[in-house]
């Protein structure tokens, strides 16, 4: 019985673990009766394999594998593949004589799991092992992932000791047998790096006996960006309420609620400590899941795009399609903010019956035109003329269709199929409005377009440009998921997928520091303009220095954590104090038109220190009239190669599309 959220239409899968299997059919019937979704069983019959041999450093040279189930016919094929997880049994050792036998024993289990078509097999690791023992097991798993490409392996790590760890004592390892005992996250990081970020490797966090955890912010920063597929809860961590039913402490509920949005599954293990058996635990977990907050509408819209890499739009060089326009137009917050800015602008500036001239540069299918009309009606502007300037001929057809069918448009809207950079306007505007902003503010070439239009004298000396100014922001990002996605990105025309910025709704990722301001652009009226011509103005707007930018940003990152790139945002001042922002610290709540712009690093960087200084350099380079591109690199904690040097992997074209 899959647990379903009452309003979110999301699901929680809960399984039950069996330490031994005498009859797998009985195990399956038990979870069918109680309502669990899957089971976890040992792959090997531990009672039948060879015991320790004291004469051979504690291990026998011959480990004989016998399956824990007698036959694959015990369950139907679809049950094995969808509802059964395996547990790999093995003896950890770094003794050279024992390693071949242990590896062969593990391979036999994985071979059996692959025959059963199990989706995942668990490998439990002990936090008390030495680093050398972990390296031995990590080596074994890395080889297995190559030998068994259809098998997924999940590393089980007990995190009970995490609650008392702090940044200060993170590296104060205990000594056992002369070797250091590693921290929980460092253990996982060793396995993940040894396996080279293999997509079939995941992690399960196991809670055995700590009923009242107190996880630090570092704990969540480390684990919420990792591929945590399972939370394993021992029945010992459940408390009893007044009626004697199992419940989790408030602190555990809080921790659980941080992981549930990432589609983790829960595995219950241990002895049932309630008269109703395991059903009481399942019922309680279902109750907790039903209390999860209801999703906001913007979150629902964003879900299909979670961690999905997209190339940034180039509306100047390419024509946007209808679906892209439709997606943008569904954003209620963006156009409400633009309308609010126009209302305030009209209230401040309209003093008589003179005609107010508004130019919408890059009108698309008309949402800003509609906003301008509504704003003028609310303020009571009697005389208004709106120019809708759009270079995309397909969008122009839509604008003219609206004009033919809407009487208000017929009275006040002029549709112009023009490129704003070259348009000879019949009159000057009181207000220019544009939504050319990209995910990083300037990455859809708003500076080049608006400055060229202003240099042609489209705006009165006392006119207003909306937006007036905007600033991009950057912060360091940890996201193993996005690193894997970028590494798997295939395009024969791109030398390196790590030297391209991507638009992405970051879900499996953590921001490691507060965003810092990067590039700033401001658009003010140009008082003295050259005479109108058919060519772009030869003013400062065409100078490579005007739109060239460079910034050096330094962040303090709390480690240990892996750094995979930098996330870019923007803040825009529309008018007066009306702002529009994708910066997480000043976010315009509910707006989904722009996802962050990701600047990846070609290799993950380990920020090992509790206070690690990260210094990032980024350039915005320009060849006027041809292309614009970003270059970026690190100089702390290590120096990386320059990414996208001379725009050899990615650039933004500033030439107009010739398609019609």
Which of 47-51, 466-470, 494-498 has the least mean pLDDT? 47-51
pLDDT of 625 > 90? The answer is no
Contacts for 181-186: CB closer than 8 Å, 24+ residues apart: 181/127, 181/128, 181/129, 181/130, 182/127, 182/129, 182/131, 182/134, 183/560, 184/127, 184/157, 184/158, 184/159, 185/222, 185/223, 185/560, 186/560
Reported confidence tier of residue 543, pLDDT bands at 50, 70, 90 = low
660 pLDDT higher than 70? no
- Mean predicted confidence (pLDDT) in 59-71: 76
Residues of the chain above pLDDT 70, percent = 91
Q: Are 356 and 346 in contact (CB under 8 A)?
A: yes
**Among 17, 226, 340, 435, the one annotated catalytic:** 435
Give the model's confidence band at 366: pLDDT under 50 very low, under 70 low, under 90 confident, else very high. very high
Phi and psi at residue 102, to the nearest 5°: -65, -45
Active-site hit among 17, 226, 340, 444: 444
Residue 308 assigned to a binding site: no
Cβ(603)–Cβ(461) under 8 Å? no
Residues 6 or more apart whose CB falls under 8 angstroms from that of 172 comprise none
391 marked ligand binding residue: no
Residue 77 has pLDDT above 80, yes or no: yes
Q: For residue 538, what pLDDT is reported?
A: 40
- Per-residue pLDDT, averaged over 68-83, amounts to 94
Residue 534: pLDDT above 50? no
pLDDT digits (tens, 9 = 90+) for 172-223: 444 444 456 688 999 999 999 999 999 999 999 999 888 788 888 899 999 9
Catalytic residue check, 417: no
Per-residue pLDDT, 298:
87
Would you say 11 is a known binding-site residue?
A: no
Helix ranges restricted to H, 538-632: 544-547
Residue 602: pLDDT band (50, 70, 90) is very high
* Domain 322-659 falls under CATH 1.10.10.10: no
The per-residue b/e assignment along 571-584, b for 16 or more CB within 10 angstroms, e otherwise, is: bbbbbeebbbbbbe
Average pLDDT over residues 67-76: 92
pLDDT surpasses 80 at 549? yes
**pLDDT, mean of residues 100-126:** 93
pLDDT tens for each residue of 323-354: 989 988 999 899 999 999 999 999 998 877 78
What is the per-residue pLDDT for 609?
84
Residue 242 CB: number of other CB atoms within 10 A? 6
Identify whether 103 is a catalytic site residue.
no
- Across all residues in the chain, what is the average pLDDT? 89
175-189, 260-274, 456-470: lowest mean pLDDT where? Answer: 175-189
**Total residues found in the chain within this entry:** 660
Query: Residue 162: its pLDDT value, please?
Result: 62
Contact 394, 405 (CB under 8 A): no
Could you give the CA distance from residue 113 to residue 121 in angstroms, rounded to a whole number?
A: 7
Confidence of residue 429 (pLDDT cuts 50, 70, 90): very high
Which residue ranges make up each domain of the chain?
3-295, 322-659
Q: What is the predicted pLDDT for the residue at 9?
A: 86
Q: Is 419 annotated as a binding residue?
A: yes
Mean pLDDT, rounded, for 367-374: 96
Which fold would CATH assign to domain 3-295? Answer: TIM Barrel (3.20.20)
What is the reported pLDDT for 532?
Answer: 47
Residue holding tokens 């292309």?
627
325 has binding-site annotation: yes
Higher pLDDT, 46 or 347: 347
Tens of pLDDT, residues 159-170: 987 655 444 445
Taking each helix axis from N to C end, the angle separating 367-379 and 332-349, rounded to the nearest 10 degrees, works out to 40
287 is an annotated ligand-binding site residue: no
Contact between 480 and 624 under an 8 Å Cβ cutoff? The reply is no
Residue 286 has pLDDT above 90, yes or no: yes
Task: Tell me the CA distances in angstroms from 80 to 26, 40, 509, one per residue in order.
Answer: 14, 11, 32
The whole-model pTM stands at 0.90
pLDDT(530) > 60: no
- Helix ranges (H only) for 201-246 are 217-223
Predicted pLDDT at 91: 73
CA atoms 369, 373, 378, 383: torsion sign? positive
Average pLDDT over residues 296-319: 88
What the block records as the tokens of 629 is: 């591109």
């Amino acid at each position: 019985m899959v647990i379903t959220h009452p309003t979110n239409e999301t699901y929680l899968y809960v399984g039950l673990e069996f330490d031994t299997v005498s009859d797998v059919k009985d195990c399956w019937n038990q979870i069918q009766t109680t309502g669990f979704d899957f089971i976890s069983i040992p792959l090997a019959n531990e009672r039948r394999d060879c015991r320790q041999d004291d004469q051979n450093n504690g291990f026998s040279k011959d480990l004989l594998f016998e399956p824990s189930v007698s036959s694959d016919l015990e369950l139907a094929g679809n049950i094995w593949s969808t509802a059964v997880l395996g547990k790999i049994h093995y003896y950890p050792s770094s003794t050279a004589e024992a390693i071949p036998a242990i590896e062969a024993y593990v391979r036999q289990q994985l071979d059996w799991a692959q025959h059963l078509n199990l989706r995942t097999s668990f490998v439990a690791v002990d936090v008390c092992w030495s680093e050398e023992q972990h390296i031995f097991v990590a080596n074994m798993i890395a080889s297995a992932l190559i030998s068994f490409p259809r098998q997924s392996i999940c590393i089980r790590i007990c995190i009970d000791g995490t609650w008392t760890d702090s940044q200060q004592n993170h590296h104060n390892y205990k000594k056992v047998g002369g070797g250091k005992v590693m921290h929980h996250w460092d253990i996982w990081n060793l396995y993940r790096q040894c396996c080279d970020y293999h997509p079939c490797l995941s992690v399960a966090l196991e809670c055995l006996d700590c009923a009242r955890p107190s996880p630090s912010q570092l704990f969540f920063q480390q684990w919420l960006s990792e591929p945590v597929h399972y939370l394993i809860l021992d029945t010992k961590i459940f408390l009893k309420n007044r009626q004697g039913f199992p419940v989790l402490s408030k602190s555990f509920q809080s921790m659980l609620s941080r992981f549930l949005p990432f589609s983790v599954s829960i595995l219950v293990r241990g002895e049932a400590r309630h008269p109703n058996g395991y059903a009481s635990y399942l019922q309680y977990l279902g109750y907790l899941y039903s209390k999860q907050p209801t999703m906001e509408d913007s979150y629902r819209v964003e879900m299909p795009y979670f961690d999905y890499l997209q190339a940034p739009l180039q509306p100047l060089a390419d024509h946007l399609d209808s679906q892209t326009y439709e997606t943008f137009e569904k954003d209620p917050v963006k156009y409400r903010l633009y309308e609010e800015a126009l209302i305030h602008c009209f209230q401040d500036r309209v003093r008589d019956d003179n005609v107010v001239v508004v130019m919408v540069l890059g009108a698309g299918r008309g949402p800003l035109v509609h906003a301008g009309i509504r704003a003028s009606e609310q303020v009571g502007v009697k005389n208004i003329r709106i120019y809708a300037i759009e270079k995309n001929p397909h969008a122009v057809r839509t604008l003219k269709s609206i004009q033919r069918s809407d009487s208000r448009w017929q009275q006040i809207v002029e549709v112009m199929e023009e490129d704003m950079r070259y348009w000879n306007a019949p009159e000057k505007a009181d207000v220019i409005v544009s939504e050319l902003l990209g995910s990083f503010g300037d990455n859809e070439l708003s500076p080049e377009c608006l400055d060229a239009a202003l240099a042609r004298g489209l705006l009165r000396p006392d006119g207003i440009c909306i937006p007036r100014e905007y600033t991009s922001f950057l912060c360091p990002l940890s996201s193993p998921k996005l690193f894997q996605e970028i590494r798997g990105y295939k395009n024969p025309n791109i030398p390196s997928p790590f030297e391209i910025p991507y638009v992405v709704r970051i879900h499996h990722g953590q921001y490691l520091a507060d965003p810092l301001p990067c590039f700033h652009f401001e658009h003010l009226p140009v008082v003295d303009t050259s005479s109108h011509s058919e060519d772009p103005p030869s003013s400062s707007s065409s100078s490579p220095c005007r739109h060239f930018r460079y910034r050096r940003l330094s962040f303090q990152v709390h480690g240990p954590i892996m750094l995979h790139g930098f996330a870019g945002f923007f803040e825009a001042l529309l008018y007066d104090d009306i702002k529009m922002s994708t910066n997480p610290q000043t976010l315009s709540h509910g707006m989904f038109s722009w996802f962050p712009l990701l600047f990846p690093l070609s290799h993950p960087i380990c920020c090992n220190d509790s206070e690690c200084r990260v210094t990032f350099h980024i350039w915005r380079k320009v060849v006027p009239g041809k292309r614009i591109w970003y270059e970026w690199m690190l100089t702390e904690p290590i120096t990386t190669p320059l990414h996208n040097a001379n725009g050899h992997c990615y650039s933004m074209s500033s030439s107009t599309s010739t398609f019609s």
